Amino acid sequence: MTSPSLFSPLKVGPYQLSHRVVMAPLTRMRAAHEDNAPHSLNLEYYAQRATKGGLIIAEASPVTQTGRGNPRTPGIYSREQIAGWREITHAVHAKGGIIFLQLWHVGRVSHSSFQPGGALPVAPSAVPISGNFSAMTADGKQVPYETPRALETSEIAGIVDAFRDGARNAREAGFDGVEIHGANGYLLEQFLQSRINQRTDAYGGSIENRARLLLEVTDAVVGVWGADRVAVRLSPYGVANDTGEADPMPLYSHVVRMLSQRGLAYLHFIEPRSSGAGRADVNHQNVPSAMELFRPLWPGVLITAGGFTGEAAEDAVASGKADAIAFGRHFISNPDLPLRLQRKSPLTPYNRATFYGGAEVGYTDYPFEQSA
Ligand code: 8OZ
């Protein structure tokens, strides 16, 4: 058998991908001002990037108001948001594309200005983000992080319910599946990590307890969609939003093993070398490779992301370390990225200044390659 290439087909759950250049979930902060619903501008952006048999993972979308932490990130908790997303899934399907939605709760990466009644953001424990980070307010100002409020044990079922509702709403909006955001220092990763999760109930302490919420959320979402349309994203060795587990291997080995028993559509990593969660072009040196460490524990489809060139992506797929590669920054500035990688054409450089917020500029105005 010849080794697979970036342009060989791949089965993901019930879907047949025709290539392995995946669009990574990308926060762009361009939903409608009034109701954080996706609108025509977002439709154009996703339709530009849809390809026949190509997988798009649509941007992180809060499953509830308390899970918000950035202005104009599109939600998946209101009728308007579902209706807006439905137009987008139709447009992607019309081009033969496959589109999953990333389900999100930011936990302590929020600010009271997003919270009902101006309450404090929620988290596993009252441990604030420290270090050189600032929170974003609902009107886009940068301010210091507040100390979050620890969720009561009795409130945790409500978090699981919020993800379940988000999963149902995503189905109603016509998505092909959902990816649970378990990475980059947001709520589910806050529970995983021992420095942030200082709970003494069944959701804190041992690795098994810290992994409990992620697994309960996964099972609730699987109950809505079936396992083969559900995925999870993890960032072992990540440092985004003041995360970092002293000894990540035992924790993440447990998580990956437990997830591997569930028959999910895929597991999605952010490679440690690029863990900056969008804030900078971080490229850590001499850090481990998530795909290399965890591939032996994961029998299913493995997607990974973070700083890949076309050539590095080909190598990762050909060697079997990953089954598909998700591209973020290059997909922002190259709407026809799969075609360009296939042709080995030059890529348009991205402009970080227009990643977040604004309108067409830096969003829908990147050029397609002129066909010869
Ligand atoms: C950049 C800015 C805001 C949010 C992530 C959803 O880090 C994000 C994000 C990235 O996963």
Q: Is there a domain that residue 239 lies in?
A: yes
pLDDT digits (tens, 9 = 90+) for 173-208: 999 999 999 999 999 999 999 999 999 999 999 999
Distance 357 CA to ligand 1 centre (A): 13
pLDDT at 2: 83
Q: Which two tokens stand for residue 261?
A: 């028993």
CATH of the domain at 347: 3.20.20.70
pLDDT at 281: 58
pTM: 0.97
User: Measured between alpha carbons, how far is residue 73 from residues 76, 84, 280, 352 in Å?
Assistant: 10, 13, 19, 17
Q: Is there a domain that residue 214 lies in?
A: yes
Q: Is the CB of 243 under 6 A from ligand 1?
A: no
Q: Is there a domain that residue 204 lies in?
A: yes
Q: Is there a domain that residue 152 lies in?
A: yes
The answer to whether 29 touches 71, Cβ cutoff 8 Å, is yes
pLDDT digits (tens, 9 = 90+) for 203-247: 999 999 999 999 999 999 999 999 999 999 999 988 899 999 999
The SS3 assignment for 233 reads strand
Instruction: Specify the amino acid at residue 321.
Output: K
Q: Is there a domain that residue 372 lies in?
A: no
Q: β-strand 324-327 against 21-23: which pairing, if any?
A: parallel
| Domains of the chain: total | 1
Q: Is there a domain that residue 115 lies in?
A: yes
Tell me the H-state helices in the chain: 40-49, 79-94, 156-172, 187-192, 207-225, 248-260, 290-294, 310-318, 329-333, 337-343
Nearest atom in ligand 1 to the alpha carbon of residue 60 is: 6
77 has catalytic annotation: no
Q: Is there a domain that residue 361 lies in?
A: no
Q: Is the CB of 357 under 6 A from ligand 1?
A: no
Stretches in the chain below the pLDDT threshold 50: none
Domain that holds residue 197: 10-354
Tell the residue nearest (CA) to atom 4 of ligand 1: 27
Q: Is there a domain that residue 42 lies in?
A: yes
Q: Which of 186, 203, 252, 366 is catalytic?
A: 186
